[in-house]
Amino acid sequence: MKKSHLFTLVTTLALAGAALAQDTIPLPAVLPKPNFIGTPSDAPAGANVEKPLGRPRPIPQVPKGTVNLALHKKVTASKAPYEGSLDLITDGVKDAKQGSAVEMYPKLQWVQIDLEAASELSYVLVWHFHEQPVVFRDVIVQVSNDPKFVEGVTTLYNNDADNSAGLGIGKDREYFETSEGRLIAANKVKARYVRLYSRGSTYTDPLNRYTEVEVYGLPSK
């Protein structure tokens, strides 16, 4: 390749890289204060539970203009809450304190957020309950444009290794709840509804809990 052609190619790639960088921003998520540090040695674990990173999670880049589309959006559920109200899930309060989490009945339950319009999604960030390093079971996150989740369902996350939830065998790992929440890639899928399943946890009771769910994406035009 001639030097002039090589110079042109390098310059073009550099300009393309700069333009791409200007079109992205760090994920604009603000994390709550941690309620504990590290993972106690006696915390329950299992073969499918991943080890904590031991350091802050890297912050991914997202398209410029990305916001939390779920903030103050309507939430429905498989069953009325055991304690608390569903709007706690999208009220923007994610600290681990009494009354910040809605409690759902035992066994497999789901909550669903209506984003009010189909939007291009980057990430779902969920805090079930981070007062203690517990592990929630059968965490499954799906998106769709069908409110009944019959047609056009895309599964973003599934750590149900034995298909006990009946939604297919998941290959994702279980994890300890922390103040960082669980960040789940949505890979630019376009959807209006986000549904999250769980089936209890390693906490002292069999309830399901949600403190906050954030859904990051570009507002629909």
Q: Considering its fold, how many domains does the chain have in total?
A: 1
Residue 145 belongs to some domain of the structure = yes
State the Cα torsion 13-17-18-21 to the nearest 10°: 170
CA atoms within 13 A on the CB side of 189: 21
Provide the pLDDT for residue 54. 81
Residue 83 belongs to some domain of the structure = yes
Calculate mean pLDDT across residues 29-58. Answer: 77
Domain span holding position 197: 57-218
Chain segment 132-160, per-residue pLDDT in tens: 889 999 999 999 999 999 999 999 999 99
Integer Cα distance of 26 and 89 in angstroms: 23
Calculate mean pLDDT across residues 96-111. Answer: 95
Residue 12 belongs to some domain of the structure = no
The closest of 140, 133, 138, 124 to 89, measured between CA atoms, is 124
Burial 151-186 (b: 16+ CB within 10 A, else e): eebeebbbbbbeeebebeebebebbbbbbbbbbbeb
Percent pLDDT > 70 in the chain is: 86
Calculate mean pLDDT across residues 71-85. Answer: 98
Q: What phi and psi values does residue 193 have, to the nearest 5 degrees?
A: -110, 140
Position 12 confidence tier, pLDDT thresholds 50, 70, 90 = very low
Mean pLDDT computed over every residue of the chain: 89
Provide the pLDDT for residue 15. 43
